[in-house]
Structures are given as structure tokens and as C-alpha cells.
Structure 1
Amino acid sequence: MTQQAAGIREVIERFMKERFDAKAEKLATDDPKYQALVEQFQRDTWLNDAARRITRLQVVTHSLKPIHPYAKGSNLYVPPESLAKHQTVGSHALPAGFDGDVVGDAAALDVYKFLKLEYDSKSLLERVLEEDDELARALSDNAEQSQAWMKAFAGITEPRGEHASHTLAKQVYWLTGEDAVDNDDFHLLAPLYATSLAHQVFQTINHDRFSEAAKEARKAKREGKLGEQEVHDYPDIAAQKMGGTKPHNISQLNSERGGNNYLLASLPPRWNVRDIRPPLKVESVLSDPGIFGWRKEVRSLVNDLKRFLETNPNTDMHIRDLRDDYTAMILDELALFTMQMHELSPGWSADENCRLSMEEAFWLDPGRAQDDSDFREARNNTDWPGEIRRRFANWLNKALGGKLPLGDVEFRHWHQELVRDASHQRLLDSDRRWMKALMDDLESIDDWEEEGNE
């Protein structure tokens, strides 16, 4: 046996010993179950059983269940190097060490873990598909037996039976000819989910968002310092959950992601019509008049509402509607101001020149919660929306003051108007969804790190 074959065999036998030790840990050596395990984990016995069970699994790069969990059509294994190269991002762009996914019987996943073992930076699965002679020597001293196992293991990338779609799968008629009324000029496409590509995207985004290097790079950017690593940002990112409470029913990689699959924003460009700067060196953006109150549109609306109220209007329905229209427009400006502050680079409120109260920092700089754990914990445990509503009502009372005798009644009215405002509620709902997704991501990362340390 060559040195390389001996090294591969050592990796295989170490894997089997680790699995044996885990199963036999609580068994006495004279227990019949212990003796049964000893026989089960003899190399030839285990490999023969693994070659039999491999038919329950399929390694894939493109899977069907993410399209519909009950679809039963074909999944495909398509190596990136076999795909046509083009400028659009696709599975052809995956690196050499990409992660293949696995679908099928979860009880047979130990066979897939076996094929994921690596020797000399190459997995056993790669060696099987390359018909590697060294692996064949490592599997068995009997050449005929090792070739039979190699052939069986290679079948993990092959679909069972003929290629087929399913009534629950998506299908698209694609015009390939010139005549849109001629059925023969269409090709029927059955899209599959590019699961290996989705996993690579997920890992890349998580590294760019949560790795220590990425956090240091964003910190350097906030402080205006040079950094060795680029800062990558993914605005308006969303996560699609697959599999519910059982993400492993979709696939192995989906289970590793906790069912999370990132969706990048596909939105038209947003034009910044004014130079937006962070509100530094001020105690509050809702002071009198404050940064918000000095905005041209806000000043105009407040002055119009003030003049209207100073006429001492009666309280019929038309007058109330007009007052409420002015209030609604001011609230629209508040929502616009909030969104513009959210456009700033996250973490601006950590600047030493920022004097805002923490509640206003929680409101206007939510992105800081991504990297600042203390900020995130305090934000989650503070009723900052209630404090912002109180500050807004106080601000508007003072802005409309002077000749008008405004007090607690008006304060409660402005407070309730903001509570009922649809734009304000949409922003809060969006914030809650974002925070939940962030906490889920962080929890998933903690779980992966714990599993990696085991």
C-alpha cells in the first residue's frame, strides 16, 4: 500500500472510531450491544453497509424541495466547471471547494459525512468521482470489492430514475423561436433551486456582516481610519425561511443555515435629493426648534397649522379634518426624516460628538445594533418608541406655542396621532422584523460556532 493510500485509510478508520466511541460510550464491554457495535464498525462491515445505504441519499447542486416542499421530481448534481461561463452571477462561478447539498433520508447522513472527509485537501467524494486509485487501495485490499464500493458511492450524485418534474414544481414556457403562437417555438423549463450557490452567498454575506474582520473594517470606516479590508454592505436584505421548524426536511445545507436563505434587494435606485448628515453636537433632534423642526417643509407646515389654530376655529367636522391633514403631513415629514437618517452609515451615533439621548440613537441609528452588542441589548430592553412619541408630542406643543394655550390635552392628542399614524407604524413593524432577523442570524452563528467547537 502506498503512503497516500495508508493516509486515506487512517482518516477513514479515525472517522469510524469516533462514531463507534460516541455510540459505545455508555455501554459496558460485556454488554451484547457493545459487541454488536464492534462488529458493525469493522471497516469492511461498515463500508458495505454504507454502500447499501448510499441509495437513500443524493448529493446535489440544484434541488427541487425549496421550490415546493412536497414536490417529488428530480434533483441534479451539476459541477460548476461543466456549466457555460458568462458575466451573470450563477453556479458556474462557484469556487473549487464549493459545498454540495444532500437530500434524502436523514438517517443515512453519516454516509455523506464519511464522503466529506478530506485527505490532502481533497474530499473522499471528489476522489470517488475522479475514480482515484489511492482511495480504492485505501478502501480495501480486495481490488474488486473496492471498485464495487467506489461505484456505489459515486451514485450519490446521480438522480434516481429518469429526470422528471412534478405537478407541484414550477414550470415556465420559454420562447426559443420567433412565433409566439406556435407551440413548437417554446421550450418548457423546470427551474430548480441553486442550493450550492445559495449556501455560498449565505456564507459570504454572514462573513461580510458578522465576522470580526468585517466589524473592525466598519469601525475603521466610522472613525475615518484606513483599514486593510473593504467594507461590504447589503441594504434592505431579507431572509426567506424554508422548512419551518424542520429545515432538514428541505436539505442538509438548508438545515445548517437554520432554514435561512438570503434575498438581496431588487429595487430601483434611490436618489438623495439633499446632503444628509448625522445630527452631531445636538442634545435632541426634537428640541425647539431642533434639527427636525428647522427643515424647510416642517417649518412651513408647523407655521400653517399654528396660524390656522390661532384663528380659534370651531370644532365642526370640516375643521377637524383640516387640522388632521396638517398633522398627517407633519407626521409624513417625520417618517421621511427617519428614513433619511437610516440611510446614513450604521454606527454614526457612536461618534464622540454625538450627544443624542440613547432613545433617539435607538430610533435613528438602528444599524448600530448589528455590531454593537451593548447597544443591541439596551435597544431591545428599552421602550424607545414610547419615548420618541413623548418627545414628538412635547416638541409639537412647544412649536405651536406662543399665543396658543396648549397643554396636556394637546400633548395626548399629538401622542395618539403618532401612535395611529400608518407610516410610523410601518417603520416600527419593519424595525421589529429587522431586529428579529438579526437576532436569529446571531443565534444561528452562535450555534454553528458551538457545533464547530464540539
Structure 2
Amino acid sequence: MSEPLPPTSIRELIEQFIHDRFATKTEKLAPDDPAYLKLQQQFELQTWLADAARRVGQLQVVTHSLKAIHPEAKGTNLYVEPGQLHGKEGVGSHCLPTDFEGDVVGNAAALDVYKFLKLRWQGRSLLELALENDESLIDALSEDRAEAQAWVHAFAGIVEPKGTPSSHARGKQIYWLVGDEPTDNASYHLLAPLYATALTHRFYAQVSPNTWFFGDHNKAARKALRERTAFEGGYTSYPNLAVQKLGGTKPQNISQLNSERGGQNYLLASLPPTWTSREVYAPMRDVFRAFNGRPEVRRIVGELKRFLEAEPAKNMHTRDLRDDLTTMLVDELMLFTLDIHSLAAGWTADEKCQLAPEEQYWLDPERGLEDADFDDARRRADWQEAVSSRAALWLNRELNHKSQLSFGDPEHQHWKSQFEGIVTEFRRQVDDLQDALRDDVDDPDDPDAPEGDAA
């Protein structure tokens, strides 16, 4: 089936968008189905545009949001063009380019209207045209100029704050001294910080290709670095990058862009210039005994145990806090894994090592670079499932120990699912890295191999 021809006007662009949405909604319906006929009426051009102009009031496009400060905060969000901000020496939202992506908050059921406003015509979005009260957009929407003008006004209103400017008890508030007398309340100005969501998303898009081992470019750069050969192009690394998770298990409750990122928001490290690594010992007999010995792990388990022993109400807040603490344990397990990976490859081959094969595959993957049988067995095994199950057993055991708690199979399955998601993703990353490292021993007669000395 051939691709549709590109639209030749704004009108055609709009018609194509509405037609595509109608086709998606009705792909499983027969033309004589009453539901099909009802949708056909709803997706008539003027009917859909009129409805979109009504529903757009349920959304707000923002550059700075409040919900990222606290998910239960309800107050004013702001949309501010970068050019309207005061220029500073530091990096901020004022540095964003003109094609920055705004975030959207509000009723998720109306997001199709935002997708409509993101349509681009000759390098500019329909939202940009609406904000400029563009004549070509007005002409494209309706032959009735008054009607078209009203719709453009409604669409442009998506960037306007809803209601009277306000903060919220769950939002952050800072009393900033602007006068000369700190004991006088009148000398303070109350600030209500908002989250720079548009800047965060741009930063995330820039950093993501350079994290872990994603992307062919990064793999090639790392390979050239190891081999000390010439490499065309730059190579970027972000040491000690932290990830702030917003929204817990429901990132869509924060905003649309936060949902697209899976709730992940990167934080650059702000650390002293020197770093002293703690001594790492190989866990020869019991992996989770070694893991449990880490102070941060004991602290998190203790906090989770105390919380559950208090018999909290069975509501969303309880589930979110429980899952947040479990996520912290999962993160600690990954830090523990990386620490063990810093040991010399092949340590599990020592006759003193009593770890199960699955634990060896997990903690000593580089052994496979020298031991083909080990590597083949590691790749065939579902070791991430076994590791996740044992992590869940360990957590149940720790929570039940000297406690009124009595967790069994249902809790084990829940903990296991929490661990397995990240362990499975980690396995994929390890396998990708192993594949990249194998390039080091490629056939030297390979015509695609680099030639000559390192530049």
C-alpha cells in the first residue's frame, strides 16, 4: 500500500489528521454498524473541530508544572516562552530553542486535541499559528470567519493558566528576604517554585543516548577507546548520573512528558572531585547475605518493615509508598551488582565459589569472554527469573524475621515482579555490552575492520 501524499495546505493537513483518527477508531467496525455511523458523524470535519475547541479547555500546555513538586498539589501551572525569561549565566529554561516541546497537564481523554495542535505546517505547529492568530489557520478552519476566529482563540487558550493564580499546601513555598529587616514579615516575598518540565524533557532527550551502552554510536566510540584507534565524532559520558522517579508507578499522573519518560528525570552529579571506592569482596557462598550487609539496604528494609507492621490503610498512598521503597531496594540491588562486576572476570570459576549457576551468570558475565561454555550456558538460561525469585524470597524472609508479619506466596510474587522488570532490562544491557566487546576479537581479515595504526 502506497504512502498518502503529503498535504498541500493546512486544510488538507487537518483533514488527514481527522481521517486517520477516524480510520483507527473504526478499523474493526463494519460500515453498517451503528457505532460506525455514530463515529462518522463525530468525525465530520466541522463537528470534530467544534468539539475539539470545546475540549481544549480541559488541557493546559505548560513549561513549568506544579504536580512534579507533589502529585497531589493543585494550583497554577505556567507556560512561558524561553524568550520571555530573563537571561542568566547558568543553564535554565531561557536556553531552550524555539522548537522546544511543551508539556501538557489536564484530562488525558482530551489529549487528541493536543496532538492536533502539535501538527506542523511549514516548520510551525498549529498551536504556534493559533497563538499568532495566523490568517492561514483561520481560513483553514471554517468558511464562517467568526466561528474560525472563536476556535483559534479557544486553541490559543491552552497555554493560559486556569483560574486565579494559586499555590497549594503540598507545593513548595519559600520565604525570600527582600527587605532589610529579617524580623519583619513585610520584608519577605513568598516564592512558589515550579518544576521546569520543558527544560527537563529537553535535557533527558540529550542525555539518554549517552547513558549505559545504548546506541551504535556509543558502542563504536567505546570500542575505539579500548583499541586506541581513531574515531570520527564526539563521545559523551555522564559519570554518577542519578535518576529521579516522579509519579511512582503512575507517571502519567504528573504530566504527559513525564509519562513518555516513564517517570525518569536525570540529575547531574554534584559531588566532590575525588571518589574513594569501598573495598568489594566476592560473595563466595551467599549472595543475599552479602547484599543484606549493606547499610543502605538494611535501612530501607527496616523502613519498609516498620511501615507494613503499622498496618496502613489499603489505599493508593499505601501502595505507592510500598512500591517506592521496593524500587529503592531494586536500585540498591543494581548498585550491588555493579560493585561485584568491578571484580576481576572469572572469579566465580574459583573452586571455593558455592554460588548457584544463575547467580554466577548474573554477577560474573565477563567470565563468558574467556569461557565459551559458561557464556553459552549463561545466554541460554533464564537466570533473571531465578535471581528475581531469590531476591523476593530474601525480602520475604527479612520482613517476616522477628515480626508479626507473615508474608507468603502472594507477596513473593509481587516482590518478584518488582525485581524482575529491572533485572531483565539489566540483562539486556549486559548482553548488548558483551556483543560489543566481542568486536575486539573479530576476524582481522574482515573487510569492515579498521585499517592502519591508531591516529
Fold match, TM over 0.5? yes
Structure 2 counterpart SS, 1:225: coil
Map of 2:425 onto structure 1: 439
The answer to whether the 8 Å contact 1:240/1:261 transfers is yes
CA contact (8 A) 1:170 1:191 kept: yes
User: Which amino acid is 1:153 matched to?
Assistant: F
Aligned residue for 1:59, secondary structure, equals strand
Give the residue type in structure 2 aligned to 1:248: Q
- 1:150 is matched by which residue type in structure 2? V
- 1:441: how far off? 12
Shift of 1:191: 0.5
Write the distance in 2 (CA, Å) between the matches of 1:78 and 1:374.
55
Distance 2:365 2:33 in 1: 65
1:19 maps to 21
Change (3 A) 1:242 1:120: same
Look up the match of 1:131.
Answer: 133
For the pair shown, the structure with the greater C-alpha radius of gyration is 1
Seen in structure 2, the aligned counterparts of structure 1 residues 49 and 134 have a Cα distance that, compared at 3 Å, is same
Q: Secondary structure at the match of 1:159?
A: coil
RMSD of the alignment, in Å?
Answer: 4.1
CA distance in 2, matches of 1:438, 1:230: 30
- Is 1:223 aligned to residue 227 of structure 2? yes
> Partners in 1 of 2:49 and 2:106 — Cα distance?
19
User: Is 1:245 the equivalent of 2:249?
Assistant: yes
Aligned equivalent of 1:143, options 130, 145, 148:
145
Distance 2:378 2:339 in 1: 19
Q: 1:51 aligns with which of 50, 53, 76?
A: 53
Distance 1:121 1:378, change over 3 A: farther
Q: CA deviation at 1:171?
A: 0.1
**C-alpha contact 1:240 1:262 (8 A) present in aligned 2:** yes
- Residue 76 (structure 2) pairs with residue 74 (structure 1): yes
Change in CA separation of 1:24 and 1:201 when aligned onto 2, cut-off 3 Å? same
TM-score scaled by structure 1? 0.62
Instruction: Give the Cα–Cα distance (whole angstroms) in 2 for the partners of residues 374 and 239 of structure 1.
Output: 33
Tell me the CA shift for residue 437 of structure 1. 8.6
Corresponding residue for 1:190? 192
Partner of 2:62: 60
Q: Does the CA-based 8 Å contact 2:63-2:198 persist in structure 1?
A: yes
The one-letter code of the counterpart of 1:41 is F
Structure 2 gap ranges (5+): 1-5, 284-334, 350-359, 370-374, 388-417, 430-455
CA distance in 1, matches of 2:229, 2:29: 59
Q: C-alpha distance in 1, partners of 2:173/2:232?
A: 46
Give the deviation of 1:54 after TM superposition: 0.5
User: SS where residue 232 of structure 2 aligns?
Assistant: coil
Shift of 1:161: 1.1
| Per-residue deviation, 1:377 | 6.5
One-letter amino acid of the structure 1 residue matched with residue 425 of structure 2: M
Q: What is the deviation of 1:211? A: 2.8
Given that 1:65 and 1:71 are in contact with CA atoms closer than 8 Å, whether structure 2 keeps it comes out as yes
Relative distance call for 1:138 and 1:239 in structure 2 (3 A) is same
Listed as ranges, the matches of 1:419-438 within 5 Å are 436=422
> Which residue, 31, 34, 57 being the options, matches 1:32?
34
Q: Return 5+ residue gaps in structure 1 as ranges.
A: 274-284, 287-334, 386-431, 444-454
Q: Give the CA deviation at 1:381.
A: 3.5
Bigger mean CA deviation after superposition, 26-35 or 207-216: 207-216
Deviations along 1:348-379, one digit per CA (max 9) or x if unpaired, are x8xxxx8887869956989x9xxxx9999699
Q: Which moved more, 1:58-67 or 1:178-187?
A: 178-187
Q: Which residue of 1 aligns with 2:295?
A: none
Q: Is the 8 A contact 1:71 1:166 kept in 2?
A: yes
SS at match of 1:27: coil
- For residues 38-437 of structure 1, what are the structure 2 equivalents within 5 Å? 38-209=40-211, 210-270=214-274, 381=383, 436=422
- Aligned residue pairs total 323
The one-letter code matched in structure 2 to 1:136 is I
Shift of 1:70: 0.9
Residue equivalent to 2:297: none
